[in-house]
Amino acid sequence: MRVNPNFNASILQDIQQSDSSLQTAFQQVSTGQKVNLPSDNPAAAAAELQVQAQSANVDQYTTNSESALSQAQLGDSVLTSVVSLLNKAVTLGTEGANSTSSPADRASISTDVQGLLSNVVSLANTTFQGISIFGGTVSSQAAFTADPTSATGYTYNGNNTVNQVQVGDSLSVQTNIPGSTLFTNPNASVLGALSNLSTALSSGTSADIGTATAAVTTALNYVTQQHVVYGSTINQLTSQETYLSQEKVTLTSRTTSLVGIDTATAAENLSQAETENSAVFASAAKVLQNSLLNYLK
Q: What beta strand segments (E) does the chain contain?
A: 127-128, 131-132, 144-146, 154-156, 164-168, 171-174
Cα atoms found within 13 Å of the Cα of residue 211, Cβ hemisphere only? 8
Looking at the DSSP assignment, which residues form a beta bridge with residue 131? Answer: 128
Q: Which long-range contacts (CB under 8 A, 24 or more apart) does 57-60 make?
A: 57/169, 58/244, 58/247, 58/248, 58/251, 59/248
Q: What is the pTM of this model?
A: 0.76
Please tell me the distance from the alpha carbon of residue 283 to that of residue 162, in angstroms, as a whole number: 76
Residues 227-253: pLDDT tens digits?
999 999 999 999 999 999 999 999 988
Average pLDDT (134-149) is 91
Residues 69-117: pLDDT tens digits?
999 999 999 999 999 999 999 999 999 999 888 999 999 999 999 999 9
Cβ atoms 239, 231 nearer than 8 A: no
What the chain holds in terms of domains, given with CATH numbers, is: 75-227 (1.20.1330.10)
Burial (CB < 10 A; 0-12, 13-18, 19+), residue 248, is: middle
> What integer pLDDT is reported at residue 195 of this predicted model?
96
